[in-house]
Structure 1
Amino acid sequence: MPTPSLQAKRAYYAKVRQSNYTASLRLAGFDTTPADGERKLPSRESLRSAYRCEV
């Protein structure tokens, strides 16, 4: 049996990580849909600008 490539391993672990995250949200009582896993997270800079205090 051939060993899987590095790209295949990364894709597998990304899929498992997303599945585990969705399962943990369900266990915590949040309503989730499969579409929740497909959304991209906001960039770090956009989060910083949203929470930055303007004095």
Structure 2
Amino acid sequence: MAPKKSFPLRIDPKLYEALERWAADEFRSVNGHLEYVLREALRKAGRLPNQPPSPEENTDS
């Protein structure tokens, strides 16, 4: 597996608490859940290499 990039993140404590609860509901760590949420947002926007947005997610019709 490729090494992961580390970087500091400043986040509002209330936002972090909500993220922490959401991650726990999905049985993920906060870090893993952030990565999942970001990957899904990038995929839906067609911003990941070789992964265009799916037609049902494209609302530009």
If the length of structure 2 is used for normalisation, what is the TM-score?
Answer: 0.29
TM-score (norm 1): 0.30
Q: Tell which has more relative contact order, 1 or 2 (C-alpha 8 A, sep 6+).
A: 1
| Higher alpha-carbon Rg | 1
